[in-house]
Amino acid sequence: MRRALIVVDVQKDFCEGGSVPVKGGADRARAIADLARRTAGNKYTHIVATRDHHIDPGGHFSDQPDFRNSFPVHCVVGSDGSEFHPHFAPAAVSGAVDEVFYKGARSASKSGFEGSTATGTPLAEWLRARDITGVDVVGIATDHCVKATALDGARAGFTVRVLLDYTAGVATDTTTTALHELRQAGVHLTGRPVVLD
């Protein structure tokens, strides 16, 4: 099996100090960078990353967010918060990450499979063109964009694992629900997520 690692939204706004911080995000950013450096070119045929890339995502931004479907303004194109977290950025620019997929310019777009390269190639198409059949998913947040990416990967026909040791969840209840949904969809789970609510 040719397997790819998908690193989901390890961006400043989703880590401590950001506009929608997930506790443990910065620590996971460091761990994911280490994973990417150790496994690039051997365990994984390719490593890709996704980025929230909002211009006008409608109701996804709210002054009174519910933190499930709506959130404070975050990851606006060109903002500092939209950049990769400093713990992960060196791995992303050092060649460990083969491609970046941008999502959510004008929608909520939680799943990395809704993202495209800067030239418009969707994630699933990019993976299939490289004969990838299995993906491992890591990143932020377990109960939101990681879950959505893993579920869409399974729907697209990939064999999907979520490496929970390399994820951070927003809250215990939503993470527990997410893990149930992932298991029901046939996604294999390894390790335990960081949840510090």
Q: Given the residues 103, 136, 143, 152, select the one marked as catalytic.
A: 103
Asked if 66 is an active-site residue, the reply is: no
Q: Give the Cα-Cα-Cα angle 69, 120, 40 (nearest 5 degrees).
A: 85
Q: How far is CA 97 from the centre of its chain?
A: 13
**Cα 38 from Cα 25, distance rounded (Å):** 20
In the annotation, is 98 catalytic?
no
Q: Kindly state the tokens that stand for 183.
A: 């298991």
Sign of the dihedral defined by the CA atoms of residues 8, 125, 5, 34, in that order: negative
Amino acid present at 133:
T
Among 80, 3, 1, smallest CA distance to 39 is for 3
- The active-site residue out of 52, 75, 110, 145 is 145
Contacts of residue 40, defined as CB under 8 A and 6 or more positions apart, other chains included, come to: 47, 95, 96
Is residue 9 annotated as part of the catalytic site, yes or no? yes
The helix or strand, by DSSP H or E, that contains position 26, with its residue range, turns out to be helix 25-39
Q: Where are the beta strands (DSSP E) in the chain?
A: 3-8, 46-52, 99-103, 134-140, 159-169, 188-190, 194-195
Q: Which residues are catalytic?
A: 9, 103, 145
